[in-house]
Amino acid sequence: MSGVIEELRHKAAARLDPVHRDFFDGGAGAETALAENERAFRRLALVPRVLRGAGDPDTGVRLLDDRASMPVVVSPTAFHRLAHPDGEHATARAAAAAGTVLITSMASTTPVAEVTAAARAVRDDAAVWFQLYLQPDPAVTDALAERALRAGCSALVVTADSPVFGRRARDDRNGFHDLPPWLAAENMRGLPGGPPDATRDIAMSPRLSWADLRRLREATPLPLVLKGVLHPQDARLALDEGVRAVIVSNHGGRQLDAAPAALDALPAVVAAVAGRIPVLLDGGVRCGADVVLALALGATAVGVGRPVVWGLAAEGEHGVRRVLEELREETAHVLTLCGAADCAAMTPDQVAVRGRGVGGC
Ligand SMILES: Cc1cc2nc3c(=O)[nH]c(=O)nc-3n(C[C@H](O)[C@H](O)[C@H](O)COP(=O)(O)O)c2cc1C
Ligand SMILES: CCCCC(=O)C(=O)O
């Protein structure tokens, strides 16, 4: 783990209410998928190429119609005002200042229009994508998509790995199942069929299907990104449905505990998609070498969830900024050491399994 991220993780742990710390840090079941996400990176090594004269690397990437200064985006995480009083405002400002994409959660404690406004106050062209759980009532899904569009979000990130909420032992033990009364999931306020001024619950449903995704695609002008893909066949189906990018993710080990590490699922999804759309990955990314390993295995970019929350809880906007800047600097440094001129220059032959020798091709 990057020293800066480790420092912020400790500081966050000391500052947070232990019940909230467990919510942010914890995973489903025995937390196997959570641990494996980080461990999968440790099992792999980067094999540098030498004397390539690559110069200082360009860490910028194009993601749909947005540009990011680095191949690291902010993955959607719920309830930022539980981590810090500035909440999503701070995260949005930090992501905009770092020049990267913020995927803001549908379960944010700040309305999406305020999140985009906070980002745009820092940078006119700040990119914010809206994460969406398809709701069983299509009118609710459409109202959320419309809010995101009006707020100036440039993509909808549909999270597909949650047909039901994960069983999280730490939250069960702590009796944490709801926000405190002074906070709410603000995007859920005043939606069709709900109480006019109060918020409705975020629903999860195992009855949702590709047909619901198709309906949303036809209802919104925004490009769709599918988050939570682990099976290569689902990546192919996503392509058929006109999805513009996929995010390989096991939801940070918070849903199916028996799921593979995100990194282990990446190569098959990359092969299935065959370069037609960007493949992103999140889960366990904690330093620049992790970012570059994912790039070498075919990811266009990675997302970070908990490191951003740790930065926010520890030092507010400044802490999130430190996490993102550190990841950008480390990524540039590791690319340089690997002889890569940019993020696309890394290739799978530059990845070796530790203890097994270097194959190449
Ligand atoms: C506290 C917390 C809240 C999360 N909330 C959401 C959410 O609202 N929507 C979503 O799609 N994913 C959510 N996720 C999953 C993240 O988007 C991401 O997949 C995961 O955190 C990546 O793993 P990492 O934390 O190891 O970087 C959440 C994760 C955490 C840790
Ligand atoms: C209904 C809130 C969803 C938050 C979430 O996705 C998570 O905690 O992993």
205-234 pLDDT per residue, tens? 999 999 999 999 999 999 999 999 999 999
d(CA 328, ligand 1 centre) in Å:
20
Q: pTM of the entire structure? A: 0.98
Question: What confidence score (pLDDT) does residue 360 get?
Answer: 56
Q: Which of 246, 56, 213, 58 is nearest to 135 (CA)?
A: 213
Cβ atoms 270, 281 nearer than 8 A: no
Would you say the CB of residue 103 lies under 6 angstroms from ligand 2? Answer: no
- Domain map (residue ranges) of the chain: 3-353
User: Does the structure show a pLDDT above 70 at 126?
Assistant: yes
Q: What is the pLDDT of residue 172?
A: 97
Is the sign of the CA dihedral 121, 123, 127, 131 positive or negative? negative
The whole-number pLDDT of residue 168 equals 97
Determine which residue's CA is closest to atom 8 belonging to ligand 2: 78
Which of 9, 77, 135, 286 for mutating ligand 1's site (highest number of atoms within 8 Å of CB)?
A: 77
Answer yes or no: is the C-beta of 202 below 6 A from any ligand 2 atom.
yes
154 pLDDT above the threshold of 70: yes
Measured in angstroms, how far is the CA atom of residue 88 from the centroid of ligand 1? 14
What are 23-47's pLDDT values in tens digits? Answer: 999 999 999 999 999 999 999 999 9
Task: Note whether ipTM > 0.95 here.
Answer: yes
Mean per-residue pLDDT of the chain: 97
Distance between CA atoms of residues 129 and 151, nearest Å: 10
Q: Rounded mean pLDDT of 293-302?
A: 98
Q: Which residue, judged by its Cα, is nearest atom 2 of ligand 2?
A: 107
Residue range 252-281, pLDDT digits in tens:
999 999 999 999 999 999 999 999 999 999
pLDDT in tens, 69-96: 999 999 999 999 999 999 999 999 999 9
CB of 134 shorter than 6 A to ligand 2: no
Cβ of 254 less than 6 Å from ligand 2 = yes
CATH superfamily of this structure's domain 3-353: Aldolase class I (3.20.20.70)
Task: State yes or no: pLDDT of 188 exceeds 60.
Answer: yes
